[in-house]
Amino acid sequence: MPLDSGRQEARRVQTSGGALAPDAMARAGGLAGLRWCFEARSASRWMGCRRDAFSQIHLSPLALSSTILLHSQRHYRATLCTELTKPLIIGNIPSASLQPYEVRIRVHCCGVNFADILACQGLYQEKHPLPFTPGMEFSGDVMEAGKAVTRVKKGDRVIGVANTKALAEEYIADQKLLWTIPQGVSYESAAALPVSYGTAILALEHRAQTKPGETVLVTAAAGATGLAVIDVASHILKAKVIAGAGSEKKCSLAFQKGAIQSVNYSETSLREEVKKLTDAQGVNVVIDTIGGDIFKEALHR
């Protein structure tokens, strides 16, 4: 239903659940802004890390876990959560053999999402047995392909999505979950795409079936998922976007991405302002990545 009474019927989408859009990640705006880059060129500095407000997730000094160190086969280094709420460590993991449709990736960059942080605190909706390696999106090069793989070949630059285990030097993926990186796009930029843009595409196209000319309201519009929704809705689906955010600075960022109108819901009622902006007709689609009171207000008649 629209935000207010009218003839239009709004298709509401609250991103929750699913491999690409876990509820906890969506409420945090998708990509947390962390990037882990594996640099094989420097033995003394093989991993680079950029940290932001989620600083509780960090690396301790290089540590090898004797419980998983097997000298009889090739190993690769991976980030390990061995104890919830504690610093992650780097350990050696034995390489696994490929199934026919699987691809071995040399990981260059891995996005760290809010869902990864929750998982390492034991607060995520899926509980991973310890120890586990976090990481849901990545970019890298194809090292090896199974005999039935047809989508990529050795040497291709690819991005992909994962449930876990991508925060490592290597990752084995099903070929269906890989896409080639266009020429000129960096590994860092590519690694930021799968979760946020995957969530936006699933919500707008597959769930809401957004049509050209329709009006889309997106909350938390300045977050990674919100910005991806604005980009896809306005530039690909040719919809009109109203951006909801908690400050004028965030609203300005949403305008830069393609929103045509905005609501600073820290200063005004989201429902009443959208009612004014749409001449009491409401919107066609609501993409909510917050929940709680904002979600209720977005859906209020």
Coil, helix or strand at residue 103: strand
Query: Given this model, what pLDDT does residue 54 score?
Result: 32
What tokens appear for 164 in the block?
């876990």
Quick one: pLDDT at residue 301?
53
Q: In angstroms, rounded to a whole number, what is the distance separating the alpha carbons of residues 130 and 91? A: 13
Domains of the chain: 11-25+195-299 (3.40.50.720), 28-194 (3.90.180.10)
C-alpha span between 201 and 158 (Å, rounded)? 19
pLDDT profile of the chain (301 residues), mean per 10:
35 39 32 34 30 34 40 84 96 95 98 92 94 97 97 97 96 97 96 94 96 96 95 97 96 96 93 92 92 83 53
Q: Token pair for residue 114?
A: 């809010």
Pairwise CA distance, residues 278 & 285, whole Å: 13
Q: Which of 275, 300, 299 is nearest to 287 (CA)?
A: 299
Question: Taking the mean position of all CA atoms in its chain, how far away is CA 110?
Answer: 11
Cis-peptide into 129, omega within 30 deg: no
